[in-house]
Copies of this chain bind each other. A is one copy, B any other.
Amino acid sequence: MATMHDVARLARVSVSTVSYVLTGTRPISQATRDKVLAAMAELDYQPNAMARGLASRRSRILGLLMPMDERGLGATETAFVTGAAAAASTAGYHLVLSPVGGGDLDDLRRLATQRMLDGVVLMEVQLADERVTVLQEAGVPLVLIGRTGDTSALSYVDIDFEQTVREAVAHLVGLGHRRIVYVNHSAATLASGYGPALRTRDAFVSAMTGHGLEPVMIAAEDSAAGGRAALAAAFAQAPELTAVLAMNETAIFGILGELTGRGLSVPDDVSVVSMVTSPQVAELATPALTAMTSPGSALGRIAIEALLRHLDGPAGGRHQQLLPCALEIRGSTAAPRSRQPMGADQ
């Protein structure tokens, strides 16, 4: 393994010159630069990341802390990760994914405090998130995906749930639906302060009310069984429902199964819209689901770019941005059977 000294000797320059060629910190004449580059190529030189990190006090490693529960990562999260990785790589940074579950805050603290990470992107932030506190105390630059309850001081990128729900509801209302049920995450999730669940709930209420319609929300466990139960509950509360809006990638399959089980056809009897859903998952269902597609990879890229800005200038200030999901119409929505489309209010 060649070192900088080897390169310097071969190129007949000093080590510092080699370093300047590498980092561009000081001007170097073209002739010298060429000599050095030739020597590096000949020796197949690769800088030692540890030494570089120690001397420069920057590891050039960014952490992406992601949740890893038993359910696995959806295509949405994956798009997010690849978007972030690409952005980091472009900027010459490595992105390491750390599967810190809820429990191991200590592990997180260690990572942050050992100066191994220049900055961190936090996924799936809770409204009150201990990890944020830990990282702030450790003084690690931070960008959130999602928002804490108090959004004042931190940088974040998040899905614009309000806008997304509004669009989804408008789509259904535009088709002529009046009785629309929103299937959210579980009651426990809501109680735990999961931002997306709470925000969409509120947005749904306000969107429906805005159309002069009555909002009905059902909480569903994240499982197929939960979806089936939720649909039953929905019919109990709103017997004439003609459309279901759901933000629960797991439950939605139960919902569809139960619909079929009741002899109801999608979309003729009941329209279904799935929110924050990747095209891949939407296509799994028969018929393919009309869905609000999340801006996954853009979200990842923007988060990393904001983080990098923080590293360069601490004066950078906060970056706060919301991105809406895009409506993609597939086979699971249509005008309700019993009425004409009403052209509604948009």
Contacts and interface: CB of A to CB of B under 8 A. Distances in A.
A89 interface: yes
* Residues of A in contact with B, size category: 35 or more
Interface of A: 1, 46-51, 53-54, 59, 68-79, 81-82, 85, 89, 94-99, 101, 104, 107, 110-111, 113-116, 223-225, 228, 250, 253-254, 257-258, 260-261, 278, 280, 283-286, 288
B96 A82 contact: no
Nearest to A97: B97
Given A46-B114, A72-B78, A253-B284, 18 more contacts: A46-B110, A47-B114, A49-B116, A50-B50, A50-B59, A68-B82, A68-B85, A70-B75, A70-B280, A72-B73, A72-B75, A72-B76, A81-B99, A89-B104, A94-B111, A224-B285, A250-B280, A260-B260
A113 B94 CA distance: 14
Contacts of A51: 54
B283 A223 contact: yes
Nearest to A257: B286
Nearest to A104: B89
Closest 4 CB pairs of A and B: A257-B286, A96-B96, A97-B97, A72-B75
A1 B57 CA distance: 12
Contacts of A69: 78
